Amino acid sequence: MKKEKSSVPEMFDRISPQYDMANRVLSLGLDMRWRRSLADQLPSRENLSLLDLATGTGDQIAALFESGASIEKAAGIDLSSGMLGIAESKFAKKPYGKKTAFQQADAEKLPFPDNTFDVCSFSFGIRNVNDPLKALSEMYRVTAPRGRCLILEFSLPDNLFRKPYLFYLRHLLPRLGGWISKDREAYRYLNKTIEQFTYGEAFLDWMKQCGWMQATAIPLLFGSVTLYRGDKP
Ligand SMILES: C[S@@+](CC[C@H](N)C(=O)[O-])C[C@H]1O[C@@H](n2cnc3c(N)ncnc32)[C@H](O)[C@@H]1O
């Protein structure tokens, strides 16, 4: 059951105050490790400009700056004003806060000219958009030649870990998430979007269709999360 686009930002507005805490608890702190894995895939160039799509509370941008990479400036866009409000107040206290600008915008219609950024990242957000191919094409459009996209998204393990992971997704995660966020509906939505979303080779095909070259998938935690990388020639 796919939520209509209009209701997704409202749901994230509602859970925004508890979002970071829920992430830490539900992933046993591993979300921060996954974000660092994404940062490890940054191109090794100086003065990178970054765009983080569906940035939420900004934790992916923070991990990118804290990786020690040479980053000149970053932009974070999201549809939820609640999530962006939390990001802005967190970044006001960070040394890289002045290098970062947050803006309310749609990942399917980015308000930036062609070839603007060296890197576009998209963490745990692409399964929430109505048209992921549109978002992948928009990322490609705003990425500069020799630039890179880095995408983190949930996936389903194709191994022995699948059964226990599905049990966690279907039974524990909605209860725990609902308890922390006081919003059971939001965390029921989470497990459905994870189970229904495209991953692995099929997602790499989407990336290639949108122009991304050398598209690669790196499975994390037995394949329950996948890090995708693609380059713009
Ligand atoms: C699961 S959160 C991920 C947030 C953040 N990237 C992270 O790693 O914690 C998904 C985010 O996608 C945002 N979102 C959903 N659809 C969007 C769209 N079309 N454009 C921009 N943001 C969107 C939601 O508002 C929410 O903040």
**Residue 181 counted as domain residue:** no
Domain of residue 140, CATH code: 3.40.50.150
From CA 4, how far away is CA 120, in angstroms rounded?
25
**Do the strands 71-78 and 100-104 form a parallel or antiparallel pair, or are they unpaired?**
parallel
> What pTM did the predictor assign?
0.95
**Residue 141 counted as domain residue:** yes
Ligand 1 geometric centre to CA of 160 (Å)? 30
Residue ranges making up the domain that contains 52: 7-155+197-231
Confidence tier at 3 by pLDDT (50, 70, 90): very low
Structure tokens at 131: 């048209």
| 117-135 average pLDDT score | 97
- Ligand 1: list residues with CB < 6 Å: 8-9, 12, 54-56, 59-60, 77-80, 83, 106-108, 123-125, 128-129
How many structural domains compose the chain? 1
**Residue 170 counted as domain residue:** no
Neighbours of 98 (CB within 10 A): 10
Residue 210 is given by DSSP the state: T
Could you read off the pLDDT of 164-195 as tens digits, one per residue?
999 999 999 989 988 888 888 888 888 889 99
